Structure 1
Amino acid sequence: MTHPTRAPSVGRRLILGALPAAAVLAACGDVGGEIVVDLEWPIAQLPRAAIGFTATTFADVPGPVVGNPRDLAALGALGAGAVRIHLAPRDGAVVSGARGGDRSIPAERWLRAYGELGLRPTVVVDLDRDAALAVLDAVRPYGVRRFVLGNEMDAHSRADVGDAGYVRRFREIAAAMRRVDPHLEIGGPATAHYEGLNDPLLRGLLDAPPAQRVSFVDFHAYGAGEGETATPESALRYGPWLDALRERVADPSVGLQVGEFNLNWADEPQNNTQAQTVWVATALATILSRGAVAFQYGDRSAAMGLTSDGVPMPSYWGIAMLTGAGLFRGIGTRMVAVHNPDPDVAAFASAADPAVVLAHPGGRERAVRVRLRGYGGGSAHVWRSTAGRPELIVVRPVTDQLELTLPPVSVTTVVLDP
């Protein structure tokens, strides 16, 4: 996780594309109006493995995650479906390749532990042919079929070779790995921010023979860092970025991935607050509404992390407002269109297990009305996070309309049952 340049700040007004976008949020002006959820208008599939987190592999107190049953229990309860981990050969063994990672633990222990939680692994490897093949050989017994070559084009992952050098090495390594297993999914370039995906780099990865071609395009992006305050709007910029990237890729068979995201890329004062819960829920839902894979950073990383000795942190509860974390049924397997003219609320919804997620980062209560197109009536279970762990607020009958009052700095998930 390196950030050589700061991504440009977002303006005070941000519109997330035209419908079917999953949310529209303006940062100024009192637009108001009715939020309309169209449960019959799917805009993205949502496999369980689209929601993931990074295994930081740090060995801080009270020891690495794989040796802490409390952390593992919390991560297992979260309901995520994927884990991202950097592995590399070091001193004759394949261990953590992450900067600051615990290299005393072999790769198989990490993969076994996360596999027992039902998480699909995506393995980051150094941009080096021999290193990548050594990792591939070590992880194949654990069913790993998904890889990213290099990390943020940095020296630590041997990827600081410039755009042309990255493309050349990517093609060489991808072809070598696919000679071992032609069915591997191999992604890149995992730039530190969206702006790093310039056209020559992107076209070089896409305009290649099948064995050398990128399977999915990966980039990282955080709300802010280095003392800069992350705004609520920054959680929504993944929408226009992914919309633009999908147009640039122009091939539905190529996946999109946000390989790292969080409120900040360092331990800023905003971390470990309810604002982080709201931001993470909003960013995750925005990414998923574009059909992309999302990896929060990371499972153990001080106030940026998901758990601390088994105690869920604010980022954890942001993800939980979509997965349910064993407290309630999470969002369904299809994201659906939402028309949202409200300037103070980000709104998302799913079908096939219908649910509505409403994120309100503002400092005052907000009354909202939600119309449910295509819902035949039933009951609404209203879960809300205002201070971390969500609580069941009310269960009430509903036909085709909901009226709710959203507290300041809150996330509300409405689970709809027949």
Structure 2
Amino acid sequence: MERQYFTFVSSLLLALAVVAAFASVGEAAGTPNIIVDFTVKSFNVTNMSIGSTVSTYGSTNLIKGGAASTNWRTLLGKLGPLVWRIPLRYFNGNVGSSAGGNFGDTNGAAYIQAIRNISGIPFVVIGGSTNDNDITTSDAASLVHYFNDNGGKNGGPVDYYVIGNEPDNGFGMDNYIFGGAGNAGYHNIAVAMRAATTRRLYLAGPSLVTWADYKYGDFNNFMSNCNADTDIIDFHKYGDGKVLGNINATYQYRDALNWLRQQINVYFGARANQINIQLGEFNYNSWYDGSWAQAFYTSRNLVHTVSTIGQVLSRGGRAYNYADNNGALGLITDGTSNNDAPAGKYVPLPSYWGIAAWTGGSYLRKLGTVMVSATSLVDGVEVYATDNKAKIVLINKSETQDQALVIQMNGKTTGIYSLYSFRRGMTATDFTNGLQFKAPLKTVSSATYQNGIISVTIPWMSVIVAIVD
């Protein structure tokens, strides 16, 4: 699309050319190409809407790594209150990690307390004795007792649980649903957990590897047999495995939410409107090798993260990034030189800033409590907005093209706004100066808008957030 320029440029804006490289402001300039209607509200946003995963087998995380763990908690705390998924098992009272490669960890209570200490909401993914899914009723009930008895002395109470993890990845859906291979069966586990506490528990499943048409049968099998015991449908979905092009496929998350909601309506009957959907794990890709530096360590990851969360929230779902720590798939580099990260440094990655664009945290206003209608008429540009704390999130997915945007706001005529630029950085190895590793820049502070119009130029492969009052 041919670039649109403002019809006037003041001498002041010319003097601020460096700022204008990130976000330019003016009065109405041409036909609006972004429409935000604050009077048309859709899905509610809650404190359960955005989260991540505590990667328990990492050498550095919330409680590991000595002095580094303090820095870790500080950085994650600055994202604001999030949901934190964490894989744990009971294992004869030695509560700890159930993540593959870290059986034997006994830090379960410390992890939950650390999540509490950064104002997070713990969401426990229950694992078995030897793998993710060989879960007995006694272990599941004992884990609930461990966190919920005695005033939650072990960091609890914990009210949110995923039963098992990716049973379609070798364990077997029939074993997971009906029992087998050490699993007591989903219904029996759910009944035992609810009987272990007087608190209201929210139980999630089936936590499948991905959403795709070849998984429809597994989802339907689960919902057909487990609907009475389930409060949340949990699924995983990572990017399509493309360094270039992944960000243009985030519409698949919207499609997943639409399909799952349709199936929930079929299988859950009168309870359908009470069932939530959560994207329990997402990331740019499900693994990293050297060819992926141009994805994970550039603002492509920023754009992918912001877009994925927007696609999910705009369809009423919840979006949980994976993970705080897993090399390039983490939110922060772990201080090692693994996966092309900088040794000895703990650098927030573009995905970290992708979450911050939504949550605000210590950096800008958090998102509001309800999604509102937002439409982009510009190829490659996405827009999302919330109200009850008005916030507009703009994403430019183009690899080459800046875009001049004219935002028409319905429901807001005159007021003030500020702009924050999450800036482009495409040099994957420059962890010191790369803008993709830095906090957003406030490019406009308390400017006035008239007639519901805000104009802004968004650079290619970047994100701008508008705060509107």
For this structure pair, what is the TM-score category when the shorter chain's length is used for normalisation? 0.7 to 0.9
> Deviation of residue 49 (structure 1)?
2.2
SS at match of 2:365: coil
Correspondent of 2:175 among 156, 165, 171: 165
The aligned counterpart of 1:22 is none
Higher relative contact order (CA 8 A, sep 6+): 1
The aligned counterpart of 1:89 is 90
The aligned counterpart of 1:318 is 354
Q: Determine if contact 1:235/1:280 at 8 Å carries over to the other structure.
A: no
Q: Give the residue type in structure 1 aligned to 2:330.
A: G
The aligned counterpart of 1:71 is 72
Aligned length: 377
Are residues 1:329 and 2:337 paired?
Answer: no
Give me the identity figure in percent.
Answer: 26
The aligned counterpart of 1:385 is 422
The aligned counterpart of 2:382 is 346
> Deviation of residue 206 (structure 1)?
5.0
- Residues 187-243 of structure 1, C-alpha deviations (whole Å, 9 max, x = no match): 100001012642464354355574xx2111010011134x76552222232111101
Are residues 1:241 and 2:259 paired?
Answer: no
Provide the rounded CA distance (Å) in 1 between the counterparts of 2:376 and 2:360. Answer: 23
The aligned counterpart of 2:234 is 218
Equivalent residues in 2 for 1:279-318, closer than 5 Å: 279-308=304-333, 310-318=346-354
Q: Determine if contact 1:323/1:329 at 8 Å carries over to the other structure.
A: yes
Q: Give the residue type in structure 1 aligned to 2:234.
A: D
Unaligned runs of 5+ in 2: 1-30, 128-132, 179-184, 266-271, 335-345, 424-434
SS at match of 1:257: strand
> Deviation of residue 65 (structure 1)?
2.6
When residues 88 and 253 of structure 1 are mapped into structure 2, their CA distance, relative to the original with a 3 A threshold, is same
Provide the rounded CA distance (Å) in 2 between the counterparts of 1:303 and 1:230. Answer: 19
Provide the rounded CA distance (Å) in 2 between the counterparts of 1:81 and 1:376. Answer: 33
> Deviation of residue 54 (structure 1)?
0.5
Provide the rounded CA distance (Å) in 1 between the counterparts of 2:168 and 2:101. Answer: 15
> Deviation of residue 137 (structure 1)?
2.4
After TM superposition, the structure 1 stretch with the greater mean CA deviation from structure 2, 307-316 or 380-389, is 307-316
> Deviation of residue 147 (structure 1)?
0.7
- Residues 259-285 of structure 1, C-alpha deviations (whole Å, 9 max, x = no match): 001111112221121110111011012
Provide the rounded CA distance (Å) in 2 between the counterparts of 1:96 and 1:36. Answer: 46
Provide the rounded CA distance (Å) in 1 between the counterparts of 2:276 and 2:388. Answer: 22
After TM superposition, the structure 1 stretch with the greater mean CA deviation from structure 2, 338-347 or 248-257, is 338-347
Provide the rounded CA distance (Å) in 2 between the counterparts of 1:109 and 1:355. Answer: 36
Provide the rounded CA distance (Å) in 1 between the counterparts of 2:218 and 2:114. Answer: 39
SS at match of 2:323: coil
Equivalent residues in 2 for 1:362-373, closer than 5 Å: 362=398, 363-373=400-410
Q: Determine if contact 2:368/2:386 at 8 Å carries over to the other structure.
A: yes
Provide the rounded CA distance (Å) in 1 between the counterparts of 2:349 and 2:243. Answer: 21
More strand by share: 1
The aligned counterpart of 1:416 is 468
Q: Determine if contact 1:230/1:264 at 8 Å carries over to the other structure.
A: no
The aligned counterpart of 1:152 is 166
Q: What's the TM-score once normalised by structure 2's chain length?
A: 0.76
Q: Give the residue type in structure 2 aligned to 1:51.
A: I
Q: Give the residue type in structure 2 aligned to 1:52.
A: G
Provide the rounded CA distance (Å) in 1 between the counterparts of 2:98 and 2:91. Answer: 8
Correspondent of 1:397 among 448, 452, 457: 448
SS at match of 1:178: helix
Compare CA radii of gyration and give the structure with the larger one: 2
Provide the rounded CA distance (Å) in 2 between the counterparts of 1:87 and 1:286. Answer: 29
Are residues 1:136 and 2:151 paired?
Answer: no
Correspondent of 1:188 among 183, 201, 205: 205
Provide the rounded CA distance (Å) in 1 between the counterparts of 2:171 and 2:103. Answer: 23
